[in-house]
Amino acid sequence: MNGPNLNLLGSREPEVYGYDTLDDIKGRCEALGSELGFQVDFRQSNSEGEMVNWIQEARTDHAGIIINPAAYSHTSIAILDSLLASEIPIIEVHLSNIHQRESYRQHSYVSKAAKGVICGLGAQGYDLAMRAMAQLLEKK
Ligand code: CA2
């Protein structure tokens, strides 16, 4: 699940976020998903409420959530609360290393609900998150 403005990936700030578009990342996740035996439901929203609704729904029809909440990481207690209620494993991903950036990006509310956090490795972070999710679900 991808948060606000990630639909703009590849168009601006490639030095921060890389050259991959969100569609490129989606393609890679789907390919790796079939290798790992996952069905991947790849989504992006610019709306906090829509993300909260999706997280609530995931509790009953998804095995886990890999989320890049984008700017909502740093502001949204609503997304945190829905993740805490979801009862499925959560991995947080950021393309950039948020700890090297502006101070307002260095704290993520979402991290409190995450089993693990991957940041700073660009689009590869999504692959790593999927492999980690596969292991978490295997151990269940
Ligand atoms: O590093 C990440 O993955 C972020 O979650 C990306 C968010 C940012 O607000 C977080 O602090 C860190 C921003 C995504 C917006 O991406 C754009 C890409 C190209 C052009 C404009 C925005």
- Report helix, strand or coil for 84: helix
Confidence bin at 14 (pLDDT 50/70/90): confident
Ligand 1 in reach of 12 Cβ (< 6 A): yes
Q: In the prediction, which pLDDT does 140 show? A: 67
Ligand 1 in reach of 2 Cβ (< 6 A): no
Ligand 1 in reach of 105 Cβ (< 6 A): yes
Active-site residue, 74 included: no
* CATH superfamily entry for domain 6-139: Dehydroquinase, class II (3.40.50.9100)
Confidence bin at 12 (pLDDT 50/70/90): confident
**CA-closest candidate to residue 15, choices 128, 100, 106, 105:** 100
Q: How far is the CA of 69 from the centre of ligand 1 (A)?
A: 9
Q: Which atom of ligand 1 is nearest to the CA of 101?
A: 11
Ligand 1 in reach of 95 Cβ (< 6 A): yes
Each residue of 15-54: pLDDT tens digit?
899 899 999 999 999 999 999 999 999 999 999 999 999 9
Active-site residue, 17 included: yes
Q: In the prediction, which pLDDT does 139 show? A: 77
Decide: 128 and 121 in contact? Cβ < 8 Å: yes
To test ligand 1's pocket by mutation, which of 2, 12, 17 has the most ligand atoms within 8 angstroms of CB?
17
Indicate the burial class of 130 (C-beta count within 10 angstroms; 0-12, 13-18, 19 or more): buried
Domain borders along the chain are 6-139
- Tell me the whole-structure pTM to 2 decimals: 0.97
Residue 61 has pLDDT above 90, yes or no: yes
